[in-house]
Amino acid sequence: MEHNTAFVFPGQGSQVVGMGKDVAEKYPVARRVFDEIDAALGYSISRLCFEGPEEELKLTKNTQPAILAVSAALHAVLEDHGVTRRDLVAGHSLGEYSAIVSVGGLTAPEAAKIVHQRGAFMQDAVPVGTGGMAALIGPTVEEARAICEEAAQGDVVSVANINAPGQIVIAGTKAGIERAIEVAKKRGVRRALPLPVSAPFHCELMKPAEERLRPVLDEASLKDLWFSLVSNVDASPIGTATAVRNALLRQVASPVRWVESVQKMVSMGVRRFVEIGPGNVLTGLIKRIDPSVELINVSDVPTLEAFVAKGNG
């Protein structure tokens, strides 16, 4: 069977104050998603999305449910218009939860509660200021791994996100990351810059968060998916509740294999990617992974209406 369209959902870093506001004001179905998530969390994530302050929105435990809420609200409007013809779904890190909501694995409020805890666990796993991440622009995955190995010196430093050809994010201890930036420059890497994140995601240092997330995911009422999800950890399609639970757990301390995930979807026949959520980070990455595919971005009322008008055909 040919898979023509994939819906993909963004992760942390796509947040911006004001996101989702126009959609919630225009579409009652979107407003309802925000209301349900607010009720599930016991505080107003919608107000943080719409009004900020940015400092609060940037806290990982808030960022994760906030981005999920916006993605779920946009997707609910597409569903309401009957515009959800897709063959596969995927999400970048946290976006995997939005993807799972979109294909019936969890409700939006259930997922928001999990990612709120996930964000807090990830934040708590490493004391603030002792871990970090950096972007390396230019090297291959092998070169990035070699840089990490040379820089480690007993510290954790490893590849965390393989985002696009020549765009790799590494994570580890603060000292390890600082050494890695020096090693990268010494080896002639085009750019090596620290990222403004609050914790070193997707590396061994996240194991404590993984352990704390395990009982939360065990208790979650995950259901089998209506359409396959191409998972971050294995870059392969999964669909059962058991496989999804396993992938979400392993994802916390494992690298995000985004390049391979996109290539896998293309190999399965995907010719069109629709990014649903704030910003257009994934659209930019996918363009660099495969310039031949069609890219559509659904992030606010104008882009949503343009996609609905096309009729998803």
* Active centre residues (catalytic): 93, 202
Whether 175 and 271 have beta carbons less than 8 Å apart is answered as no
Query: String of b and e for 94-130 (b: at least 16 CB within 10 Å)?
Result: bbbbbbbbbbebbbbbbbbbbbbbbbbbbbebbeeee
Separation between Cα atoms, residue 105 and residue 225, nearest integer Å: 5
H/E element, 276? strand 272-276
Whether 232 and 250 have beta carbons less than 8 Å apart is answered as no
Whether 254 and 233 have beta carbons less than 8 Å apart is answered as yes
Backbone angles phi, psi at 140, to 5 degrees: -75, 170
Whether 168 and 161 have beta carbons less than 8 Å apart is answered as yes
Burial class (CB within 10 angstroms; exposed 0-12, middle 13-18, buried 19+) of 292:
exposed
Whether omega for the bond prior to residue 28 falls within 30 degrees of 0, making it cis, is no
Separation between Cα atoms, residue 189 and residue 94, nearest integer Å: 28
Separation between Cα atoms, residue 156 and residue 177, nearest integer Å: 9
First to last CA, the chain: 17
Whether 67 and 80 have beta carbons less than 8 Å apart is answered as no
Q: Say which amino acid occupies 56.
A: E
